[in-house]
Amino acid sequence: MRKYFIGLLMVICTLPLSTFAQDYSLTSHNTTPFALNPALAGAANSIRFGLNYRQHWPALGNKFHTIRASYDQNFYKQMCSAGFAYTYDNMAAGTYQINEFNLVYAHTIRLKDHYFIRLGVQAALFANFLGDKFEFEDQYDTYYRKVMTPTLENIGNDSRVFADFSAGGAFVIENMLTFGVSIYHIGEPKNGFLDKQDNVLERKFTVHASYFHDLQSQNGLFGRSDLSSNYLFTNVYYQMQGEFQNFYAGVGLLYSPLLVGVAFKSDFTDVYTPSFMAGLQFGSFQFSYVYDLFTARTKKNGSWSHEINLIYIIRKHEKYPCPVVYW
């Protein structure tokens, strides 16, 4: 255990390209789309509340948890949208904690009937903390084989607060096709705990696309202001953040009230992740569960993650001048 905490501290405090320079990851971006692109805030043309919980790799013992609560709304008369999100990321049983507060704004530009451009910006405040569970070599008594004395090590600050900014854009064919790009952490803020450290939260580039097909309409979704209870949807995106890359492709089906889907993720190393989703939709509520199975080509045994998502949508009945984009 002592070696574990020493090693984890080295990862947190000294490695510039460690996993702590990456963002948290949710499989179900459809439940909180402006985590993928600020331009997608309010894209459901409604008032939307979302709650996400993810447990990473429970087989490792020291559990990693992510909780995200979000709200976004389309102000259709003003052709704009706004939203707020709070994310709590707990790593290694509280040894490292991230609190992220987001404010997002998106504006819609009509090109012509059913064709739109959405532009979005996001401002964020991060408050990151180190826990008190570290143990160092100078605390360990080799005779009694346990921690006996306080450490003389100085890790600098045990907290880091910084601002961050992101932006994105999307081209939308109403209720049919979305294609977008986004850049997160434009200023690459410093996120290390040592004063002399050069660790930064590296820029994250995302390219994404989605398509929807209504199973109850011969004309698909084009030109409609709402979806039926049965539709097929697909999502694809590619992300790059420093040395890290991520590819995602998924397909899902809502056959009311059942919601099912499968997806494939890859980080372009020997690790790939098949994902399986099942859920229910009743009126304004949508619940889904996602199971991720991490698999390495060089190993027979993988690990897994659980994700639970809840959405509540307050729909309006007016014919909006803004595009409806369902994820």
Both tokens assigned to 130: 């180190």
Is the pLDDT reported for residue 274 higher than 50? Answer: yes
Question: Of residues 313 and 194, which shows the higher confidence score?
Answer: 313
Please state which of the ranges 71-85, 108-122, 302-316 shows the lowest mean pLDDT: 302-316
Is the pLDDT reported for residue 315 higher than 80? Answer: no
Please state which of the ranges 202-206, 207-211, 284-288 shows the lowest mean pLDDT: 284-288
Is the pLDDT reported for residue 150 higher than 70? Answer: no
Instruction: Count CB-CB contacts under 10 A for residue 173.
Output: 19
For 3-7, the CB contacts below 8 A with 24+ separation are: 4/62, 5/95, 5/133, 5/134, 5/135, 6/134, 6/135, 6/136, 6/137
Please state which of the ranges 61-75, 82-96, 127-141, 195-209 shows the lowest mean pLDDT: 127-141
Most confident of 40-49, 121-130, 189-198, 264-273: 121-130
- The pLDDT, as a whole number, for residue 302 is 55
Per-residue pLDDT tens for 46-101? 888 999 999 887 776 657 889 999 999 988 778 889 999 999 988 766 678 889 99
Mean pLDDT of the chain: 78
Q: Alpha-carbon distance 72 to 40, whole Å?
A: 10
Q: How many CA atoms lie within 13 A of 104 on its CB side?
A: 34
C-alpha 19, offset from chain centre:
15
Q: Alpha-carbon distance 43 to 172, whole Å?
A: 10
Binning pLDDT at 50, 70 and 90, where does residue 167 land? very high
Is the pLDDT reported for residue 285 higher than 80? Answer: yes
Q: What is the mean pLDDT of residues 167-182?
A: 91
- The pLDDT, as a whole number, for residue 32 is 79
3-state SS string for the chain: CHHHHHHHHHHHHHCCCCHHHCCCCCCCHHHCHHHCCHHHCCCCCEEEEEEEEEEECHHHCCCEEEEEEEEEEEEHHHCEEEEEEEEEEEECCCCEEEEEEEEEEEEEEEEECCEEEEEEEEEEEEEEEECCCCCCHHHEECCCCEECCCCCCCCCCCEEEEEEEEEEEEEEECCCEEEEEEEECCCCCECCCCCCCCCECCCEEEEEEEEEEECCCCCCCCCCCCCCCEEEEEEEEEEEECCEEEEEEEEEEEECCEEEEEEEEECCCCEEEEEEEEEEEECCEEEEEEEEEEEECCCCCCEEEEEEEEEEEEECCCCCCCCCCCC
Omega before residue 257 within 30° of 0, cis: yes
Instruction: Count CB-CB contacts under 10 A for residue 164.
Output: 19
Per-residue pLDDT tens for 3-17? 434 444 443 443 333
Percent of the chain with pLDDT over 90: 37
Is the pLDDT reported for residue 114 higher than 70? Answer: yes
Q: Are 265 and 275 in contact (CB under 8 A)?
A: yes
Q: Which domains does the chain have, with CATH numbers?
A: 2-315 (2.40.160.40)
- The pLDDT, as a whole number, for residue 300 is 52
Is the pLDDT reported for residue 236 higher than 70? Answer: yes
- The pLDDT, as a whole number, for residue 107 is 93
Q: What is the mean pLDDT of residues 283-306?
A: 78
